């Protein structure tokens, strides 16, 4: 009759295998850290370079009824904008401007419906016309009835 034996463990072999595995893991970690630290520049590019999903005709109607529409935080608090529209063609007549007062880090542009002008939120005596002249413009296009706003700030 055969007798089954229990599992035999070779302690020396197990120790050697564990040390080799540990050394490999530490080596891989060092390599990853060196590769990660090889550049000071981090270029994160998530999503589209433009703000999409705006039905141009619907927004043009909304603006005609209520005035320009603010979008407060398109790029991590870096690009608040105002979107206005002039005329009846939803493919033309868009005005997209930065809501930051030129040369100011703290003040935002507001819309004054009473005067039909953009005004400095910190100094109401400073204003700009409804076409945004004097404010930083933001590029836009209308494609297939959709307004697309260039949040990559290529100018416009």
The count of domains in the chain is 2
Q: What b-and-e string marks burial along 8-18, b requiring 16 or more CB atoms within 10 Å of the CB?
A: eeeeeeeeeee
Query: Is 23 within the bounds of a domain?
Result: yes
* Token pair in block for residue 100: 């930051």
Does 55 lie in the same domain as 33?
no
Query: Is 26 within the bounds of a domain?
Result: yes
Across the chain, where does the E strand assignment appear?
Answer: 50-55, 69-71, 81-85, 94-98, 109-112, 117-120, 127-128, 140-143, 146-150
Closest residue by Cα to residue 99 from 113, 79, 84: 79
Does 97 lie in the same domain as 124?
yes
Query: Is 155 within the bounds of a domain?
Result: no
pLDDT of residue 42: 54
pLDDT of residue 3: 66
pLDDT of residue 4: 63
User: Helix, strand or coil for residue 94?
Assistant: strand
Does 81 lie in the same domain as 121?
yes
- One pLDDT digit (tens) per residue for the chain, 156 residues: 666 666 666 778 888 888 888 888 888 888 887 777 655 555 555 555 677 788 999 999 999 999 999 988 766 657 889 999 999 999 999 999 999 999 888 899 999 999 999 999 999 899 999 999 999 999 999 999 999 988 775 444
Query: Is 90 within the bounds of a domain?
Result: yes
What CATH number is given to the structural domain containing 123?
2.102.10.10
pLDDT of residue 97: 94
Are residues 118 and 111 in contact, defined by beta-carbon separation less than 8 angstroms?
yes
Query: Is 3 within the bounds of a domain?
Result: no
pLDDT of residue 155: 45
Does 80 lie in the same domain as 14?
no
Range of the domain at 105: 50-150
């Amino acid at each position: 009759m055969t007798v089954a034996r229990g599992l035999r463990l070779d302690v020396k072999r197990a120790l050697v295998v564990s040390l080799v595995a540990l050394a490999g893991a530490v080596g891989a970690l060092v390599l990853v850290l060196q590769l990660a630290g090889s550049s000071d520049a981090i270029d994160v590019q998530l999503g589209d370079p433009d703000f999409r999903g705006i039905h141009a005709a619907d927004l043009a109607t909304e603006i005609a009824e209520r005035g320009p529409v603010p979008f407060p935080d398109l790029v991590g608090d870096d690009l608040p904008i105002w979107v206005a529209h002039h005329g009846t063609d939803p493919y033309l007549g868009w005005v997209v401007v930065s809501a930051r007062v030129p040369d100011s880090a703290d003040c935002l542009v507001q819309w004054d419906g009473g005067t039909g002008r953009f005004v400095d939120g910190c100094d109401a005596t400073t204003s700009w016309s409804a076409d945004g002249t004097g404010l930083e413009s933001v590029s836009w296009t209308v494609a297939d009835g959709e307004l697309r706003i260039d949040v990559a700030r290529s100018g416009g």
